């Protein structure tokens, strides 16, 4: 099957911080040949490029405020119009709110595309806190590690590039509770939103990476050729 004939796969991954969204996005992206699109990455790219939307976003981030939905949606609209999403995408961390979900629906409608699956990854609160506070990232190549279940081979050193891995500022205990609270208030309503639209698939993350991955593969079906 040629690339243009392959069926597109458009997925949203939902779940609280620490549930493994980023990790699962990564293998889905690779196995199904679709880009992984996260709000964080889109924001960082726009800020680095110094685009108008990027500058707007920067002002909110500098003030320690949430970037408003209009700016996030503007960035998402630009990103989803790029050619590499022709075969689909996996959204990780977007949409985050009901207005963002409505905005996404509008963007996709204009592009004559539709969502295939919204996968919710669930995990108990205490386990989430433990996982987040043991997360480490490579500031150089962006590799993600977890001291609990995915440590680097050499302590404190990135397997891929040899840089020293660090804890992100928002992975510390003080901010974790705050982030979980924000998730419960803003993003949890999306679960019902997508359930009502018949798109929601629920996956439990407490049996470990392989079990979670197998459940997701069950929903997504065979890899595209
Ligand atoms: Zn690295």
pLDDT at site 223: 60
Whether 112 maps to a domain, the answer reads yes
Catalytic residue among 154, 168, 197, 223: 168
Query: Alpha-carbon distance 121 to 16, whole Å?
Result: 8
Which residue in 10, 96, 131, 201 is the catalytic one?
96
CA of 144 to the centre of ligand 1 (A): 8
Reported confidence tier of residue 55, pLDDT bands at 50, 70, 90: very high
Residue at 176 is within a domain:
no
Alpha helices in the chain (DSSP H): 21-32, 39-49, 52-62, 69-80, 98-110, 125-133, 173-182, 188-196, 209-220
Let me know if residue 42 belongs to a domain.
Answer: yes
143 assigned to some structural domain: no
CATH number at residue 57: 3.40.50.300
167 part of a folded domain: no
In the reported structure, the alpha carbon of residue 191 is separated from the centroid of ligand 1 by a whole-number distance in angstroms of 34
Distance CA 131, CA 19 (A): 8
Q: Which of 79, 131, 135, 201 is catalytic?
A: 135
Does 125 participate in catalysis according to the annotation?
no
pLDDT tens across 101-158, in order? 999 999 999 999 999 999 999 999 999 999 889 999 999 999 989 898 889 999 999 9
Sign for the CA dihedral angle at 43, 58, 72, 50 comes to: negative
Q: Is 96 part of the annotated catalytic residue set?
A: yes
Domain that holds residue 86: 9-123+186-220
Given the residues 21, 79, 131, 201, select the one marked as catalytic.
21
The number of domains in the chain is: 1
Separation of CA 158 and ligand 1 centre (Å) = 5
The pLDDT value recorded for residue 3 is 46
Q: Tell me whether residue 117 is in a domain.
A: yes
Q: What confidence score (pLDDT) does residue 18 get?
A: 84
Give residue 225's pLDDT band: very low, low, confident or very high (50, 70, 90). Answer: very low
Within-domain flag for 87:
yes
The mean pLDDT value of the chain amounts to 90
Q: Residue 26 domain-assigned? A: yes
């Amino acid at each position: 099957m040629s690339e243009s004939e392959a069926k597109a796969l458009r997925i949203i991954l939902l779940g609280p911080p620490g549930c493994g969204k980023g990790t699962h996005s990564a293998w889905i992206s690779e196995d199904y040949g679709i880009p992984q699109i996260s709000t964080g990455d889109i924001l960082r790219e726009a800020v680095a490029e110094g685009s108008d939307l990027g500058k707007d976003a920067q002002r909110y981030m500098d003030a320690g405020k949430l970037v408003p939905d209009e700016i996030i949606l503007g960035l998402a609209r630009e990103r989803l119009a790029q050619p590499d999403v022709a075969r689909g995408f996996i959204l990780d961390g977007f949409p985050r709110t009901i207005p963002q979900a409505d905005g996404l629906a509008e963007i996709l409608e204009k592009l004559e595309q539709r969502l295939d699956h919204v996968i919710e990854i669930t995990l108990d609160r205490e386990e989430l806190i433990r996982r987040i506070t043991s997360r480490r990232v490579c500031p150089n190549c962006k590799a993600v590690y977890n001291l609990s279940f995915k440590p680097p081979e050499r302590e404190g050193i990135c397997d891929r590039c040899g840089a020293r891995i660090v804890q992100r500022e928002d992975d510390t205990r003080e901010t974790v509770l705050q982030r979980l609270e924000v998730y419960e208030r803003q993003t949890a309503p999306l679960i019902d939103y997508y359930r009502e639209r018949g798109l929601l698939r629920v996956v439990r993350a407490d049996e470990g990476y392989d079990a979670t991955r197998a459940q997701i593969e069950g929903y997504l079906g065979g890899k595209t050729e």
